[in-house]
Amino acid sequence: MEKSDIRYQTYLKILREELVPAMGCTEPIAVAYAAARARQVLEVPLEAIDKAVLRVSGSIIKNVKSVIVPNTGHLKGLEAAVVAGVVAGNADRELEVLAEVTPGQQKEIAEYLKILPVEIVHIEEGSVFDIDLCLTAGDRYARIRISDTHTNIVLLEKNGENLLQQERHSEAGRLEAEKAHRKSRELLCMEGIWDFVNSVAIEDVEGLLERQIQYNMAIAEEGLRGDYGSNIGSVLMNVGGDNVRNRARAKAAAGSDARMNGCELPVVINSGSGNQGITCSVPVIEYAREFRVDRELLLRALTLSNLTTIYQKTGIGTLSAYCGAVCAAAGAGAGIVYLREGSYEAVIHTIVNTLATVSGIVCDGAKASCAAKIAAALDTAFLGYDMFRYGEDFHSGDGIVMEDIEATIRAVGKIGHDGMRETNEEIIRLMLC
């Protein structure tokens, strides 16, 4: 693939859009970002703010309910995310909005949480990712709405004035941007990704991927050292031994447990998710270290893993009842196969075998069991490669396996986006009860 090819530039753009740093679970961080931005717009002293009304879709409730908001002294939930953003958030840092919170501000967050009324309203107005926050100070207010993705501001008001007048934020501009986004994702396919992986100039992806290696391995190793969540990584190391296959699962699980249970290290995300960013990168890096592959080969394998994960998630959407760890584990399996064998046939069969086996794992929100789901999905990805090595595969007609890799990924996208919509709603109803 030549640099002049539209796919080359599009795939680079997709990687730059998706592989961004975030601190903590991205849904509460998006709420904190909204709160920090609203406070920035309102321009009043903290003590003047008298109320916050947060209207959110059920999928946001599901993904915020059980995780710790970073740099808050282990506070959980939507109210904590709002107050943290209002008191100490730096909106200019976007998904690292709470990265600069001081110990003094942590105490202030805890105190302010006791006195600021935060009303939570469950809404379903079309988007599964919907955050609509209004801060009031007497007769003054600031309102912000974030929809579809974690930093996509679609409405910003101050005292009745619409602040999003620029063309890029107008309704026509927003629809045009969404159309361009969809069109760019339509260029994703496994053959195109494979071509790009083998031809990309390493300097074009090196900065993005080196940051992913640094951040995601740091939090994975901290997860094994510390006491976070259900300590799935430590359990795996205790029972599975110190071999590369087990370490790959354990470190990915440990990184997940850490980021959702108070660790204040950043993660480079994938498809809007820190768990997916960890899952599609840490196992590949661990295998590369074990087999001492050169840096360029590792970076190409990570390019494959990341783009494969993004491709699968594109059809499913940002939030779904379909567990994104499955997509990321299939991506990691592809990256590891690239390191070990470099065969396109081995890569696509590993992906299909993984999807055929664990596509039924449901997402019931962000919480400690995500780490165990990551470990299970990765184990299946490794099995998927083992099957190929021994001449065994799932074939067209075996359940959701279609005639080729592209059709299978499209089928999984339909299941996650359309078929599991009612499942998602039922999970939310159960959690709200």
Amino acid at 54: L
User: What is the Cα–Cα distance from 334 to 343, expressed in whole angstroms?
Assistant: 10
Question: Which pLDDT score, from 0 to 100, does residue 433 have?
Answer: 76
Amino acid at 68: I
161-162 vs 266-268, strand pairing mode: unpaired
Comparing CA positions, the residue from 271, 274, 231 lying closest to residue 251 is 231
Question: Which pLDDT score, from 0 to 100, does residue 342 have?
Answer: 82
Amino acid at 269: I
| Partner residues linked to 76 by β-bridges | 68
Place of tokens 């994975």: 220
Looking at domain 24-177, its CATH class is alpha beta
Burial of 179 (0-12, 13-18, 19+ CB in 10 A): exposed
User: How many CB atoms are located within 10 Å of the residue 429 CB?
Assistant: 10
Q: What are the backbone angles phi and psi of residue 21, rounded to the nearest 5°?
A: -80, 145
- Residue length, the chain? 433
User: 149: Cβ–Cβ under 8 A, 6 or more apart, which residues?
Assistant: 129, 272, 318
Question: Which pLDDT score, from 0 to 100, does residue 288 have?
Answer: 98
User: 342: Cβ–Cβ under 8 A, 6 or more apart, which residues?
Assistant: none
pTM above 0.75, yes or no: yes
User: 429: Cβ–Cβ under 8 A, 6 or more apart, which residues?
Assistant: none
User: How many CB atoms are located within 10 Å of the residue 225 CB?
Assistant: 11
Question: Which pLDDT score, from 0 to 100, does residue 168 have?
Answer: 41
Question: Which pLDDT score, from 0 to 100, does residue 176 have?
Answer: 64
pLDDT averaged per 10 residues in sequence order, the chain, 433 residues: 93 96 91 96 93 94 89 93 96 94 95 94 88 96 93 93 63 61 86 98 98 98 95 96 97 95 92 95 98 97 98 91 95 97 94 96 90 97 96 94 96 94 90 79
Q: Which two tokens stand for residue 297?
A: 């080969």
118-122 vs 51-56, strand pairing mode: parallel
Question: Which pLDDT score, from 0 to 100, does residue 185 have?
Answer: 86
98-132: buried (b, 16+ CB within 10 Å) or exposed (e) per residue? bbebeeebbebbbebbeebebeeeeeeeebbbbbb
CB of 314 closer than 8 Å to CB of 280: no
| Partner residues linked to 162 by β-bridges | 157
User: What is the Cα–Cα distance from 431 to 427, expressed in whole angstroms?
Assistant: 6
Domain with CATH 3.30.1330.90 in the chain: 24-177
User: 382: Cβ–Cβ under 8 A, 6 or more apart, which residues?
Assistant: 245, 248, 333, 336
